[in-house]
Each structure stands twice: as structure tokens, then as C-alpha cells.
Structure 1
Amino acid sequence: MPPWPFSRRREEGAGNAVDRAPLLALLEADLRQRVRRRMSRRKIAAGKPLYRPGDVADALYLIESGRLRVFMHQRGGAELVLQFLGAGEVVGEAAFMAEAPYVTGAVAIEDATVLALARRDFDDLLGTHEALLHYLATVIAARQERANARLAAESAPEETLALRGYVTAVYSPRGGAGVTTLALNLAIALAERHPDDAVLLDLDVLFGHTLLNLRLEARGVLAQVGPNTLRGLDRGGLEHYLIKHASSLRIFPAATTPEEGQSITDAHVRSGLTALRRNFGHIVIDLPHAFNEVTLAGLDLADRVLVVATPESTVLHDLAEVRRIFGDVLRVPPERVSYALNHPQAYAGLTLSEFTSATATPWIEIGHGGDAPTAAALRGDSLIGTRPSNPVSRAAAVLADEITRQAREVATLAGRTV
């Protein structure tokens, strides 16, 4: 993996990061410290179990680092993966709270570290803590619902299982945040990792610049195809409209003129994404800034939304509105949204910690890429192809690796072939 592209990978130590996990963040400061002192640390090598079905649940576990796969055995011994869990999440909570043996197993899929709180210490310190008990009950209920959905996925219709593509939408509430540059280089990074299996859908219907940045010409556009026709296109039919880049990335522009762009509807987006998901493993969407029907459809159908912001103080107000709309209107689950603080200009502005504090959400930070992104666009080159060490290129590469992992996990949980 290339060096971490963000100028501040961690502003605080691992201990503080664990303290922000819901299990501990709900506790008063003095109680949190007492709990931390009672916790023991356990390292688990990749491929090794934290616990097996039938083991006694004598401790509550909090993942400090790494990722775990939680599974159950089906008839005949086949393994059914129920969920993947990472840093800051509890694991094994249902059996622990029920004081029953585990019916699932948990295995590290990479080297991991967990913090264990023994039952006697939990009962002594947290057994009557209402907020914490409510949190654990909520986690248990949500994960049971997820497990039920996973079991249902085993008998999902073939048409649903065929929608294998993982959709990443890149969005900003205002222009100039570098959305197109990041979306394009992320899509190329995915194409390099998954040859002939990645496509960029440029939904900036009025002023999309993806093709201009690569000096490519449109063959066909989304606006020229009816929704019913779009939905039924196979790979060969789609290729008639897609433009192939040297990286093997396909690009599907929305329109060639603003007038064409205004004819695109929610139905175009939904039908187009259905066809793309059936024929490609990775779809990246470059979204427009306005909350119109095109943007809303893209956000609704995305598996992952990457919100990009620049470090101005006024952006915080915009972000508050975006988060309100995501939660109250679109019902986008918070775990599907990631946030990136981008520096397309050289000025400093607000710091990463100010964004993290104001939104109570982790952020990644992409350093200033200098003149290279603009120069690459003027030449018609891909930045990641010509300047792989540029901060924007390195960010796109790391994001592509993370999205590849997420897509693999989502496919597994949906019962689709990985």
C-alpha cells in the first residue's frame, strides 16, 4: 500500500481513538478510566479465532484495531458470514448479555487487537449503567436484523444477486471542492485494480468535465437513452455508449450540452445504475452539487457516499444542512457516509480537528496537490497515471483499496459471488 496520503493520519493516540468508541464514549470520564484499567489486551493473528461457536461468553470485547469476520455454521458445516466488524465496535455482545455460549464464531481477517472486559468487571462497573445497557440492546437488535437480512439473502432472486456492482458516489455541497478530480482518479485507481470492471458515471448533467479532462469525445450519453431501454442493456449494449480510457476505465457521460442534461430524470439514473451494476464491479458517480432529482437518486442508490469539503468556515454550515438532509430526508445510514477535507488551493483555512469536532465525525484529509491536477487536465492526462506520488493520487489509491475491501464485504453479506 502506498504511503498514507493525508497530512494528519491520527491527531490523537490509539487510546483516545478507543475512548471515542460508543462503548466507552457513553461513560463518565472517571468511570471510563476505571473500565480501561480493568480491560486486558489480546492480539489475534490473521486467520485465528477470537472465539468459536459453543465457547463460553465470559468477556465483552471491543475491537481496538484490525477487522473480524463473524459467522455461523449452516447445515453440512458451510460457513455463513453475518457481518464484518472493525475498530471501535463491540463483538460477541449478544451471547455475553444473554450469559449463553456463542452461537457464532469470530475470526480475524487481518492482524487485530481487542480489549476484553471480564464479566465480573462488567457487572461491577457497568451492570446498572442505563445508557450503556441501552446502547448494547440497540446494537444487539440492529445486528439481529442484519443477520436476518443475511439469511434472507441466501434465497434472494437471481435478478437481485446479479446486481454485483458497488456504487461509490462523490459529492460536495458546493463547487470548487475537487469532486471531479477526486472521482476521476478514484475511478482510474479502481480500474487499475479491476481491469475492464470499473465505470465512471458523470452525473454533473449541466457542466460535466470528465471527458474534457481526459481529452476524450462522447460516443453516446445518458440523456439519449430511454429509461426502459437503459434498464435492459447488456454489456455489449452499454459499450455502445461508454468511452474507454487507456486505464480500462469506462466513462458514461450524462450529457454533452446543458439542454440535454436538463432532460435527465430520476428514472434515467436508476435504470442506468441498474444496468451498470449488472455489468461492472465498480461504479463511481460524479454528482452535481444541487439537491435535484439526479443527485438524490445517486445518493439513494450508492453503497458508499464520499462527501468532499474545503477548509472554509462557511462550509460547516453547508455540511450541517447536508447531514440533516442525509438523515431526515434521504435516510442515508451514517455508516454509508465518509468525509474528506480536500485542499485544492494552498491556503490553510480551518483545520481537520475543527471539522472533526464540529461534525462529531471522523474525517480524512487530502493535502494540496499543487499545480499538477490542473496541468494534467490541460494535457488530457490522468493525474494518478502521470503523478502517482501527488497527494491527490495517493489519496485516490488508498481510497480505491478501501473501497475494494468494502465491496468484497458487501458482496459476501449479500450472498453474491465475490
Structure 2
Amino acid sequence: MTYVALAGAGPDFERTFAEATGGAYLSMPGPVAADPDVLLAHVNGAGDPEVLVLDSRADADSALALADRFTAERPGTVVLLASDRSDEVGLRAMRAGVRDIIPTTADATEIRQALQAAVSTANRLSTSVANSQPGEGPGGAKGRVITVISPKGGAGKTTVATNLAVALARTMPHSTVLVDLDLQFGDVATALNLTPDYTLPDALPSAASADTIALKTYLSLHLETGLYVLAAPEHPAAADTISSAQISQLLQLLATEFTYVVVDTSPGLSDHTLAALDQTTDPLLLTALSVPGARGMRKVIDTLSQLQMFSGGHRVVVNFADAGHGMSADDVEATLGVAVGTSLPTSKAAPASLNRGIPLMQSRIRDPLVKALTPLVDSLLPDGITLEGRGKHRGARRGAR
């Protein structure tokens, strides 16, 4: 059973919180000090909560300091922040290890969905803590690294990567970072209508020194979805100054801080892409529905097989998978010798969404691409969580462990 605690809540938020949980939570006073021991002195030996929600309206600085201490000293506790100023505190909350920000105006359903995601994260963390090894990230937890690769340009890698990352971030806010590894011509920032202050080369020294706090300062927050982004360099020549080892260090560190690391790549199998694949848990092999695309992907699969990478463990995604091109998904499977995991139809709205910088998963419009991507997103989410929030709520009992 999961033990949920709420600290320092105003009466308005606590009423809605009680409705969302059916009263199955432990209420504590506000954070009078940035010390977990001081707060937990009020729980009469109940121990560390798996999920702790801090209402930050009375004293945001103390709440964030307390969240930072919980993250560092009690990695098995998932900390959420209730705030009426999410735009102002979002980056500070991320640096403090807060997993999600709940608006204090949220209704019971929205609070319940946030808690459901937090409970799933807490369950994963408890397993990771039990199995952690020295040298691992906080609590031994390691996120999933989802890398989208394609042998040729024009297959829709950036569209797939950005929509996938937005969908994950929308479902589990502040859980996802999107890395643009198309180091010469990456346009993830454009696809999200972001003007980043920093780009990937700025973050590499912090990754090399394993300084997670400094690393996070180089991420750009996509306010509309809660997605964090590490943009590609501004100039193509910067790619020549970045080594494969630096990419490995970067992704390793990000995977200790985020549940999901989504990586967009340049076409083909560059050294940088192979370095990313070394850290990847979920490779998505993307091809357009075309003879050149399928033949190129066959070479990618053969190369990965020779390198003994992902034998049977990758997912093939076919984009623009519409009839009338003189080729079918069956033809692709015959060429590749492996099954097609996901087929994505042509979306008339996708080019416009890319030009506007508003991914389809952000605008939530009804579109064939959104419908086809949804099962892929759901397969990456924790058990009981779905993109549309239709998962079962795992009830929290007061003081239960």
C-alpha cells in the first residue's frame, strides 16, 4: 500500500485533495524548516511517505528547500508541489527534484491523475532503491532512453520524437527531457516554438562532472507541456567538437534525473547516434513507406545485429503508411525480416503544426497521427497510466505501507 502525505495545505486545496483521495492521506503542517526530520516528526513513526505533496503558497522557498532535501536524502519519496505560480517556480522545482506541479485550482480528477502517476513512479523507485548499486543516480533509479533513428532524412523523425516527448510530458509532467542529437541541423526547438538560452554543447561540461544541478540549468522548459528540452547547437560546425563519450555521459546523467529521455537523431548511424544507442533502452527504428527507406532500414538492422545491439529488442515504426504508394507494411516486413510495430498514417495537419511550433499532441486535435501514436505512448507509460488518463487509480491508504 502507498502512503501519501500532504503538508502545509490551505483549506481550499485540502478539501479538493480529500475528495480526490477519499480521505486516504496523512495531513501535516507546513514546512517550517527545510529539514525532512522536522516534518516527519509529525507522523508518529509512520515513516517516509512514498508520495509527499507540498503546498508552496505560504512559503515557496521553504517548500522548495524541503523538496531538495527529500530528493537528496530520501530518494524513495516522490515530491509533488501544489502551486498557483507554476510558471515562476517551474525551473526551481525541477532543480529541487519535484516530479510534478499541481495547480492549486485543480479539481479532484486532475489531482487524482497526478497522484496516480506519482504512485507509479514511487513504486518504480522503491524497486530501484532496493536494487541500487554504488555509483547509480538518486535512489539507483534510471529512466528509459527512447531514441528515434532513421537511415534517411524526410522520414519524420523530429515529428515523431517531439510528439512522443510531448505526450509523455503531458501525461507525467516534469518527467521527460527531449535531446536534439541532430547536431548539425536539428530543429526540435523550432518544432516546439522555443528560443533556448543554451544548447547541447553548453551542458556537456556539467555532464562530464556529473553535476546534475548545473546540467538542469541548461535545459529549456516548454511551459505549455512541462517538457524539458536540450536543443541542438546553433552552428553545424559545433558537431565536430562533440565526442561520442560526451554524448554517453550526458544521456547517462539525464537518465538518472528523468523518467524518460527522448532522443532525436540525425539521419543514418553516426558515431553520435551509436553512442546514444549504447545508452538506449527503447530504440524506435523509423522508416518511410518507400523502397529506399525500407532498404536503408534493412542496413541499419543488419549493422545493429553485427554490433550485437538490440537483438529482437527494437520497435520498427513505419511513417506515411498509407495505401496507394505501391508498397505496404507487409512489403516492409518482408524486406526487413522483422515485424512492423507501429504504422503511422500521413497527417495533413503535421506540416502546419511543425511550422507553427505546436505539436499535434500538444494541441490535442483529432488527427490520424495522434490516434496512431497513442498506443505507442501507452506502451511506454507505467502500468495503469494511459495518455488520456483512463488508468485505474491505485488508492492510497492513510499511513499504510
- TM bucket normalised to smaller: 0.5 to 0.7
Equivalences for residues 335-350 of structure 1 within 5 A: 335-343=312-320, 348-350=325-327
* C-alpha distance in 2 between matches for 1:155 and 1:299: 23
Closer, same or farther: CA 155–377 of 1 in aligned 2, 3 Å? closer
Give the equivalent residue in structure 1 for 2:36. none
Q: Which amino acid aligns with 1:173?
A: P
Q: Which amino acid aligns with 1:294?
A: H
Find the partner of 1:299 among 277, 280, 283: 277
Shift of 1:165: 1.1
Find the partner of 1:265 among 243, 257, 263: 243
User: Are the counterparts in 1 of residues 203 and 215 from structure 2 also a CA contact under 8 Å?
Assistant: no
* C-alpha distance in 2 between matches for 1:183 and 1:354: 25
User: Are the counterparts in 2 of residues 346 and 368 from structure 1 also a CA contact under 8 Å?
Assistant: no
User: Are the counterparts in 2 of residues 227 and 267 from structure 1 also a CA contact under 8 Å?
Assistant: no
* C-alpha distance in 2 between matches for 1:340 and 1:320: 13
User: Are the counterparts in 1 of residues 150 and 268 from structure 2 also a CA contact under 8 Å?
Assistant: no
* C-alpha distance in 2 between matches for 1:349 and 1:233: 52
Equivalences for residues 78-157 of structure 1 within 5 A: 154=131, 156-157=133-134
Q: Which amino acid aligns with 1:240?
A: T
Identity of aligned residues (%): 27
Q: Summarize deviations over 1:153-179 as a string: whole Å, max 9, x none.
A: 846335266242110000100000000
* C-alpha distance in 2 between matches for 1:192 and 1:177: 24
Find the partner of 1:205 among 183, 194, 200: 183
RMSD (CA atoms) = 2.6
Give the equivalent residue in structure 2 for 1:353. 330
Find the partner of 1:181 among 153, 159, 177: 159
Residue ranges of structure 2 left out of the alignment (5+ in a row): 1-126, 386-401
Q: Does 1:383 align with 2:383?
A: no
* C-alpha distance in 1 between matches for 2:264 and 2:157: 7
User: Are the counterparts in 2 of residues 313 and 349 from structure 1 also a CA contact under 8 Å?
Assistant: no
- Between Structure 1 and Structure 2, how many residues are aligned? 255
Moved more, 336-345 or 257-266: 336-345
* C-alpha distance in 1 between matches for 2:288 and 2:235: 28
Closer, same or farther: CA 226–181 of 1 in aligned 2, 3 Å? closer
* C-alpha distance in 2 between matches for 1:369 and 1:393: 9
User: Are the counterparts in 2 of residues 344 and 369 from structure 1 also a CA contact under 8 Å?
Assistant: no
Q: Summarize deviations over 1:6-27 as a string: whole Å, max 9, x none.
A: xxxxxxxxxxxxxxxxxxxxxx
Give the equivalent residue in structure 2 for 1:374. 351
Shift of 1:199: 0.5
Give the equivalent residue in structure 2 for 1:53. none
Q: Summarize deviations over 1:363-389 as a string: whole Å, max 9, x none.
A: 12111111x111112222121122442
Question: 3-state DSSP class of the match of 2:266?
Answer: coil
Give the equivalent residue in structure 2 for 1:362. 339
Closer, same or farther: CA 394–231 of 1 in aligned 2, 3 Å? farther
Question: 3-state DSSP class of the match of 1:340?
Answer: strand
* C-alpha distance in 2 between matches for 1:355 and 1:406: 31
Question: TM-score if structure 2 supplies the norm length?
Answer: 0.59
Give the equivalent residue in structure 2 for 1:169. 147
Q: Which amino acid aligns with 1:385?
A: Q
User: Are the counterparts in 1 of residues 207 and 215 from structure 2 also a CA contact under 8 Å?
Assistant: no
Q: Which amino acid aligns with 2:237?
A: E
Question: 3-state DSSP class of the match of 1:322?
Answer: helix
* C-alpha distance in 2 between matches for 1:237 and 1:398: 35
Give the equivalent residue in structure 2 for 1:248. 226
User: Are the counterparts in 1 of residues 289 and 321 from structure 2 also a CA contact under 8 Å?
Assistant: no
* C-alpha distance in 1 between matches for 2:255 and 2:380: 15
Shift of 1:231: 4.5
Question: TM-score if structure 1 supplies the norm length?
Answer: 0.57
Give the equivalent residue in structure 2 for 1:220. 198
Q: Does 1:310 align with 2:284?
A: no
* C-alpha distance in 1 between matches for 2:141 and 2:231: 21
* C-alpha distance in 2 between matches for 1:155 and 1:242: 27
Closer, same or farther: CA 407–171 of 1 in aligned 2, 3 Å? farther
Q: Summarize deviations over 1:110-166 as a string: whole Å, max 9, x none.
A: xxxxxxxxxxxxxxxxxxxxxxxxxxxxxxxxxxxxxxxx9xx84633526624211
User: Are the counterparts in 1 of residues 162 and 191 from structure 2 also a CA contact under 8 Å?
Assistant: no
Give the equivalent residue in structure 1 for 2:102. none
* C-alpha distance in 2 between matches for 1:406 and 1:323: 29
Closer, same or farther: CA 207–319 of 1 in aligned 2, 3 Å? same
Residue ranges of structure 1 left out of the alignment (5+ in a row): 1-149, 409-418
